[in-house]
């Protein structure tokens, strides 16, 4: 395909998968159970953090988080005692109860002392996306009681593709009224969002000639970003739907 044909094809696929029917197949269904901004961003962040491995398991464990945090994850974070949080029982692969405890306690500090999770990205306005994620990593992980949990927060400084945090930022910041992404944050313009590079999107990007780098690391994210920006400078992250859908659902 020439560049024009490729753009037409990916625009079509992005529109096909960026629809409400996508929600039932994706971990984003968990934050869609809530309506308040604070509830969506809190449970959305934890669900995005555990979004690796089998999708059925991710969604099942997302439901367990709903059982733990109840009707309002924000109220749970703000009102649960340290003893209640310490007794929380949860595990998803290597993310366990201690990690959840660290996340919950760190978020409580952010909502008391600042304006929640989004505030850490507001602080870094003007920086590029790599440095904004690095800033978020530093500010959030320093609130942990145990640094073992730091491994669950992406750090592009170490080469990470930051797939899960980029996915979370897509959920929170991308605005298109299609019913999938929430668009409830203004700290990051959709034009700045980077694709959450994973096995599916990486393989498809390489097959389509959008990505040459073999590793799924931050350099690959930046290489792919240059290509999708050529197709849509205002909403590059919409192509995540196309690349992921072609890989995960069509085995393209």
Write the DSSP string, 103-136: HHHHHHHHHHHSSSTHHHHHTTTTS-HHHHHHHH
What residue ranges of the chain have pLDDT lower than 50? none
Task: Decide: 208 and 197 in contact? Cβ < 8 Å.
Answer: no
Residue 87 is predicted with a pLDDT of 86
The one-character DSSP state at 34 is: -
CA distance 38 to 195: 24
Q: What pLDDT is stored for residue 82 in this prediction?
A: 86
Residue 225 and residue 195 in contact, taking contact as beta carbons nearer than 8 Å: yes
pLDDT at position 1, please? 81
pLDDT of residue 252: 79
- Please tell me whether residue 36 adopts helix, strand or coil conformation: coil
The predicted pLDDT at position 159 comes to 93
- As for how many domains the chain has, the answer is 1
pLDDT at residue 78 in the model: 96
What pLDDT, on a 0 to 100 scale, did the predictor assign at position 83? Answer: 87
Q: What is the pLDDT of residue 69?
A: 95
In angstroms, the CA 94 to CA 82 distance is: 22
Q: What domain range is 121 assigned to?
A: 3-248
- At 222 the pLDDT is 98
């Amino acid at each position: 395909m020439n560049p024009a044909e490729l753009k037409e094809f990916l625009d079509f696929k992005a529109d096909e998968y960026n629809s409400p029917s996508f929600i039932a197949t994706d971990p984003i269904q968990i934050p869609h159970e809530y309506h308040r901004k604070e509830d969506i961003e809190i449970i959305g962040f934890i669900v995005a953090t555990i979004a690796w491995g089998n999708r059925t398991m991710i969604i099942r464990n997302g439901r367990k988080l709903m059982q733990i945090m109840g009707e309002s994850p924000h109220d749970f974070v703000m009102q649960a005692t340290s003893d209640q949080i310490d007794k929380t029982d949860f595990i998803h692969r290597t993310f366990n109860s201690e990690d959840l405890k660290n996340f919950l306690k760190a978020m409580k500090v952010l909502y008391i002392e600042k304006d929640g999770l989004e505030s850490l990205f507001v602080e870094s306005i003007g920086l590029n996306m790599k440095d904004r994620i690095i800033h978020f990593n530093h500010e959030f992980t320093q609130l942990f009681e145990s640094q073992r949990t730091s491994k669950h927060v992406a750090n592009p400084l170490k080469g990470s593709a930051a797939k899960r945090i980029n996915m979370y930022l897509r959920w929170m910041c991308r605005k298109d009224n299609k019913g999938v992404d929430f668009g409830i944050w203004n700290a990051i313009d959709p034009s700045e969002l980077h694709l959450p590079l994973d096995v599916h999107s990486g393989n498809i990007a390489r097959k389509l000639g959008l990505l040459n780098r073999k590793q799924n690391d931050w350099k690959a994210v930046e290489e792919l970003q240059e290509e999708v920006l050529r197709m849509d400078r205002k909403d590059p992250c919409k192509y995540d739907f196309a690349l992921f859908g072609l890989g995960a659902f069509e085995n393209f």
